[in-house]
Amino acid sequence: MNAPFSPEALTALRAELASGARPLFIDGVFGPAAAGATIDVIDPATGDVFATAACGDAGDIDRAVQAARRAFDGGAWPATTPAMRARLMTRLADLIEAHGERIALTESLDNGMPFMMAKFGGVMGASEQLRYNAGWATKITGETVTPSAPGEWHAFSRREPVGVVGAIVPWNFPFVMAVAKIAPALAAGCTVVLKPAEQTPLSAVILAELIAEAGFPAGVVNIVNGYGQTAGAALVDHPLVDKITFTGSTSVGKAIVRAATGNLKRVTLELGGKSPVVIFADADLDKAIPAAAMGIFGNAGQICAAGSRLFVHDSVYDRVVEGIVARAGSLRVGNGQAPGTEMGPLVSQVQRDRVMGYIASGADEGATVACGGQRLEGPGYFVQPTVLTGTMAGMKVVDEEIFGPVLCVMRFGEDDIDTIAAAANEGSYGLSSSIWTRDMSNGLRLANRLKAGTVRINGGGGVDPALPLGGFKQSGWGRENGRAGVEAFTELKSVTVAL
């Protein structure tokens, strides 16, 4: 359901993007990578290169880290009051909203997602992150404490910024993820080097332009596009970086943990999931069916919290599967800038091939393809919305994150909450989960038993900057969003005075 945007804006944007490589942003200055390298940027709806971006390497990362270090250690940033930081962040949110159409179109071209998703999920989500975290800038506090040691004391704790933050983000929601990492870091008083994903470098350059326009001092935020193995790894290895905040694959998350031991950087990780959706017999199916469908087909399944394992009670199983298959059949799959598109392509050929490999493995292991299962003919990296039935734990399609529009459906017969929880808790992930029931006692009893950072009952909305987000088990370390999300960018210090 794409509201019309101005066609002139798209034409102008395409011309601008074709006019030269998008620069790096280091120490307040826009420029090419020192070695002159660039990344070809591919439109996933066509497979065509439509832009290029400067491709930073370890040397560029070092320049950026040095700039962030200077800005943190003695530059303008420590001298900026919390209220001033909040003001700058709010100004950036205003600028993001004012440039919303351009950002959303860029994101749609770069990632393939529908324009309206880029606008509401991406642009508005990003500005809300800044507004929410701007509120925290003036509210980060410690406590006064009465120690038990003999004597008279004044003792208190204070929260200080952790320092220079390396933020590494993926390609599935490039703009809002970048902002969701930068915003709490800035609120806490940190400086940042952002390394966007190589598949989607473009919207971060607009973010850099708006950061400069908002008036942040040089070096407070630096944005270096480049590949994970080079620029990303250099950021994780850098001895002057105090913390890495990462969203992406579990394997890279584990590599980051190992690499961070050099200077024992603080690390927070958001590593995706294999989130269960449980539909009880008494669920409001008119709501549960479309929600379950869009919970896996939204953004072509490239969502960390995608509901990819569906557990349905026997008595409503046929109706639910038929409903989701019907929704899959009516889903408008196409170019993200076309009006009406509900699902775009996968981000890259690599991701398309990975998803097709999973679908083939599911069929090999005995799953039934209830609908979809094919790539679309023609250019672009489109995969049909796919429903697999007859799936069970132990199959790759059930155990591993597919990150594509592929739903695995399983049935349950009894209503024993512990049995249902045990099935939903299988596997190595624990990011999110959904429950559909009219019996709130059952719903909350199951919620208590699920090993997941988020539980949504009967819908429960999307990502909110005020609600902690993160994973149990191998879905990650730490939490983003909410108070915990800001405090993750601080060090806690105790100060004691013997009076």
Residues annotated as part of the active site: 270, 304
**DSSP letter (8 states) at residue 333:** B
**DSSP letter (8 states) at residue 120:** I
What is the Cβ-side half-sphere exposure of residue 37, based on CA atoms within 13 angstroms?
15
Tokens describing residue 192: 């940042």
> What is the smallest separation between the CB atom of 305 and ligand NAI, expressed in angstroms?
8
> What is the smallest separation between the CB atom of 249 and ligand NAI, expressed in angstroms?
3
- Rounded-to-integer distance, Cα 496 and Cα 499, Å: 9
The count of chain residues that interact with ligand NAI, using the rule CB under 6 A, is 26
Q: Among residues 121 and 170, whose Cβ is nearest to ligand NAI?
A: 170
| Burial readout 364-403 (b: 16 or more C-beta within 10 A, e: otherwise) | ebebebbbbbebeeeebbbbbbbbbbbbeeebebbbbbbb
> What is the smallest separation between the CB atom of 10 and ligand NAI, expressed in angstroms?
26
> What is the smallest separation between the CB atom of 53 and ligand NAI, expressed in angstroms?
13
* Residue range at the interface with ligand NAI (CB under 6 A); choices 226-234, 309-317, 360-368, 446-454: 226-234
> What is the smallest separation between the CB atom of 238 and ligand NAI, expressed in angstroms?
11
168 is an interface residue for ligand NAI by CB under 6 A: yes
Own/partner long-range contacts of 258-267 (Cβ < 8 Å, ≥24 apart): 259/233, 260/236, 262/237, 263/239, 265/166, 265/236, 265/241, 266/162, 266/242, 266/488, 267/243, 267/477, 267/478
* Residue range at the interface with ligand NAI (CB under 6 A); choices 252-260, 315-323, 382-390, 418-426: 252-260
Tell me the residue number closest to ligand NAI, measured at CB: 228
* Residue range at the interface with ligand NAI (CB under 6 A); choices 268-276, 360-368, 375-383, 458-466: 268-276
3-class DSSP state for residue 64?
helix
Tell me the CA end-to-end span of the chain in Å, nearest whole number.
Answer: 67
Torsions phi, psi for 485 (to 5 deg): -65, -40
236 is an interface residue for ligand NAI by CB under 6 A: yes
Please say whether the beta carbons of 166 and 245 come within 8 A: yes
Torsions phi, psi for 6 (to 5 deg): -75, 130
**Per-residue contact flags (x/-) with ligand NAI for residues 172 to 211, judged by CB under 6 A:** x----------------------x-xx-------------
Which of 23, 228, 344, 427 binds ligand NAI (CB under 6 A)? It is 228
Q: Which residue has the tokens 């008119």?
A: 286
170 is an interface residue for ligand NAI by CB under 6 A: yes
Q: Which helix (H) or strand (E) holds 43?
A: strand 38-43
Q: Is the dihedral of CA 231, 233, 238, 243 positive or negative?
A: positive
> What is the smallest separation between the CB atom of 408 and ligand NAI, expressed in angstroms?
15
Which of 100, 121, 219, 272 binds ligand NAI (CB under 6 A)? It is 272
Which residues, 413 to 472, sit near ligand NAI by CB under 6 A?
none
Which residues, 308 to 367, sit near ligand NAI by CB under 6 A?
354
> What is the smallest separation between the CB atom of 167 and ligand NAI, expressed in angstroms?
10
Largest CA distance in the chain: 79
- How buried is residue 467: exposed, middle or buried, by Cβ count under 10 Å (0-12/13-18/19+)? middle
Q: Among residues 153 and 472, whose Cβ is nearest to ligand NAI?
A: 472
Which of 6, 81, 229, 330 binds ligand NAI (CB under 6 A)? It is 229
3-class DSSP state for residue 118?
helix
Which of 34, 155, 212, 255 binds ligand NAI (CB under 6 A)? It is 255
> What is the smallest separation between the CB atom of 494 and ligand NAI, expressed in angstroms?
33
In sequence order, what are the residues at sequence separation of 6 or more whose Cβ sits closer than 8 angstroms to the Cβ of residue 56?
Answer: 24, 33, 37, 64, 195, 224, 225, 226, 231
* Residue range at the interface with ligand NAI (CB under 6 A); choices 106-114, 265-273, 278-286, 420-428: 265-273
233 is an interface residue for ligand NAI by CB under 6 A: yes
> What is the smallest separation between the CB atom of 268 and ligand NAI, expressed in angstroms?
12
248 is an interface residue for ligand NAI by CB under 6 A: yes
Which residues, 396 to 415, sit near ligand NAI by CB under 6 A?
401, 403
Under the phi-then-psi rule, with left for phi > 0, alpha for psi from -120 to 50, and beta for the rest, what region is 407? beta
Distances (CA, A) of 153 to 146, 148, 496: 7, 9, 7
270 is an interface residue for ligand NAI by CB under 6 A: yes
- Rounded-to-integer distance, Cα 499 and Cα 104, Å: 58
Which of 68, 134, 304, 446 binds ligand NAI (CB under 6 A)? It is 304
Q: What share of the chain is helix, strand, coil (3-state, %, to 5)?
A: 40, 20, 35
Q: Among residues 104 and 252, whose Cβ is nearest to ligand NAI?
A: 252
Q: Which residues bind ligand NAI (CB under 6 A)?
A: 168-170, 172, 195, 197-198, 227-229, 232-233, 236, 247-249, 252, 255-256, 270-272, 304, 354, 401, 403
